[in-house]
Amino acid sequence: MRGPALFLALPLALLGAGAQGAPAEVIPLNHLPAISGDYFPLASKQTGLTYHIYVRYPQGYDDDPGKRFPIVYLLDGDSAFPLLAAQHLFLTIDDKLPEAIIVGIAYGGFDPKVNKRDVDFGARAEAFHRFLETELMPRVEGRTRADHQRRILVGQSFGGAMVLWSAVHRPDAFWGRVASNPSFRLSADKLAEPGTTPQRRGLRTIVVSGTANTPEPRKQAIAWVDKRNGSQSAMSFERIDIPDGTHAADLPAAYRLALRKLFDWKSPGPDNP
């Protein structure tokens, strides 16, 4: 059975406030079936922060109690979760991609006093990744039917660089990784290191770059993928370009194209009905 639907207990800070500072009415997200599922706060011993964890369950999750699903972890869940959790449903409809459990890792706001992505994805990258591996993943996968052999990590901008940090330094933690327009400013030195040799086979990291992204980060992303491809790594590194794609607005397109690659999508046609 799926975990308890706890959206009714969403912190009011995440839902805004009414006129003159009065608390807004709590409206459960389970009335939005494309992104409904579970929510819980998770206090991390590794980083000292409390994260807001959102879990979207696949359509038909309860129909086959023995079935396990790929699981996608979204960095910057404050914005990425409501965007990509719904997007994944459309990918199962139009592209026939596998349904998946979608996990959003949110800070609960964009105010720098609350949102510490610049620290988590930079100086504290190692501690943040320990949070993922030792605190978040066991908690989520202990209460869902996740296929831990098909874990996917997705990040945008600084989050995209965190995805690359994971690929370099903790390669076996995820089967697939998607870095959308990674920004190297916080962690360029760590991303230049040789890193850890993967023990698993078939691991893939996909870097998606918009051609209209800021020139320097795009140049760095292209050079990084080219260098890794020449390193004889057991992990494959692939790049997808989005014509006229900008830094953030094309994240749904980046997600779609990267997941097509990860799941070896084939275009429908006479030979592939």
CATH code, domain carrying 254: 3.40.50.1820
Is 104 a domain residue? yes
Inform me whether the pLDDT recorded for 231 exceeds 80: no
Inform me whether the pLDDT recorded for 93 exceeds 90: yes
What pTM does this model have?
0.89
- Looking at per-residue confidence, does 90 or 24 come out higher? 90
Inform me whether the pLDDT recorded for 144 exceeds 70: yes
Is 151 a domain residue? yes
Is 10 a domain residue? no
Nearest to 164 by CA among 149, 175, 151, 153: 153
Residue range 239-258: average pLDDT?
Answer: 97
Residue range 96-106: average pLDDT?
Answer: 97
Nearest to 57 by CA among 75, 72, 74, 41: 72
What does the alpha-carbon distance between residue 107 and residue 47 come to, in Å, rounded to a whole number?
12
Strand residues in the chain grouped as ranges (E): 37-43, 50-56, 69-74, 101-106, 146-156, 176-180, 204-210, 236-242
Place of tokens 């370099």: 168
Instruction: Output the 3-class SS for 8-68.
Output: HHCCHHHHCECHHHCECCCCCHHHCCCCCEEEEEEECCCCCCEEEEEEECCCCCCCCCCCC
Is 270 a domain residue? no
Is 96 a domain residue? yes
Range of 73's domain?
Answer: 29-262
Q: How many domains does the chain have?
A: 1
pLDDT band at 228 (very low <50, low <70, confident <90, very high): confident
- Tens-place pLDDT, residues 11-63: 433 433 334 444 455 667 778 999 989 999 999 999 999 999 999 999 999 99
Is 17 a domain residue? no
Is 272 a domain residue? no
